[in-house]
Amino acid sequence: MDKQAVHAGVRERVASLSAELDYHIREADRIRGALDAAEVFLQCDVDSPPDYSGVDFLGQSMHRSLLQIAERNGGTVVTRDVTGVFVEAGLYTSRDDANIAIHDTLQKSREFTKVGVGVYARVDRTPITDGPAASRRPSEILKALLLQGKQINKGLAVDALHEAGYDFGLRNPQRVAGGALRQAMRALDKGRRTV
């Protein structure tokens, strides 16, 4: 057996082990996120009566109202309770419409994470203050990395965001990275056209 064949076999084995290690790191991050969500859920007091005093439902957006409700109730929002309040306040005529709007608002918000069935908790996100991850938006992180001359494709976007310190939370990393890469590429293309 010659040296080239041995080296090729070793390189192949190293690449295989590296891919396996990357997979296990991603799985560990996913499990860590699920454990964090479970810990937040265990700290939630979902059985105590919610406090809605001082929340002006008519004078502000639903998102702002939900933030105020979370502040008054230990950082949690129980959609079952909040739905009735929005109907009583006259913002919605049916509980179904209110429930759909509340879930839609909470799921789109970066400030809440789902910790149980119908239970959302306020996320304490402290911004990263140095490096390309200073922006909390993944598209801005990828745009900064592309401007630095790094080659990033769809397969490498998740790894690039991990290395930059981006926290995916409970969201699907491939989906977030794919969308962020498309937005970053569009922003760069738009910048090139205007120059």
Q: What is the pLDDT along the chain (195 residues), one digit of tens a residue?
A: 678 888 888 888 888 888 888 888 888 777 776 666 666 555 555 555 555 555 666 667 788 888 888 877 777 888 888 888 888 877 888 889 888 888 888 888 878 877 777 888 877 643 333 444 444 578 888 887 777 777 787 778 888 887 777 777 777 788 888 888 888 888 777 766 544
The whole-number pLDDT of residue 43 equals 57
Angle at which helix 154-164 crosses helix 138-147, to 10 degrees, equals 100
Residue 55 and residue 104 share a domain: yes
Which residue's structure tokens are 């149980």?
116
Q: What is the pLDDT of residue 57?
A: 63
Query: What is the pLDDT at residue 129?
Result: 39
Sign of the torsion formed by the C-alpha atoms of 40, 76, 99 and 64: negative
Query: Of 122, 137, 157, at which residue does a domain stop?
Result: 122
Of 94, 122, 150, at which residue does a domain stop? Answer: 122
**Residue 96 CA neighbour count, 13 Å, CB half:** 0
Instruction: Clarify whether residues 115 and 50 are in a common domain.
Output: yes
Residues 142 and 114 in one domain: no
Cα–Cα distance for residue pair 91/93, rounded to 1 Å: 7
Name the residue range of residue 181's domain.
127-195
Q: Is 102 within 8 Å of 86 (Cβ atoms)?
A: yes
pLDDT given for residue 192 in this prediction: 60
Number of domains forming the structure of the chain: 3
Question: What is the pTM for the complete model shown?
Answer: 0.41
Contacts of 109 (CB under 8 A, 6+ apart): 63, 66
| 104 plus 131 within the same structural domain | no
Number of H helices, E strands in the chain: 7, 3
Q: What is the DSSP letter of 120?
A: E
One domain, residues 69 and 110:
yes
pLDDT at 141: 80
pLDDT of residue 125: 44
7 shares a domain with 34: yes
Question: How far is C-alpha 117 from the geometric centre of its chain's CA atoms?
Answer: 18
How far apart are alpha carbons 76 and 159 in whole angstroms? 32
Residue 51 and residue 81 in one domain:
yes
Among 122, 137, 165, the domain-final residue is: 122
C-alpha dist (Å) from residue 164 to 57, 84, 118, 136, 145:
39, 42, 32, 11, 9
Q: Do 136 and 186 share a structural domain? A: yes
Q: Are residues 132 and 151 in the same domain?
A: yes
139 with 117, same domain: the answer is no
- Is the Cβ–Cβ distance between 72 and 51 less than 8 Å? yes
Are 25 and 59 part of one and the same domain? no
The whole-number pLDDT of residue 45 equals: 52
- Same domain assignment for residues 75 and 35: no
Other beta carbons within 10 Å of 158: 24
How much is the pLDDT for 175?
84
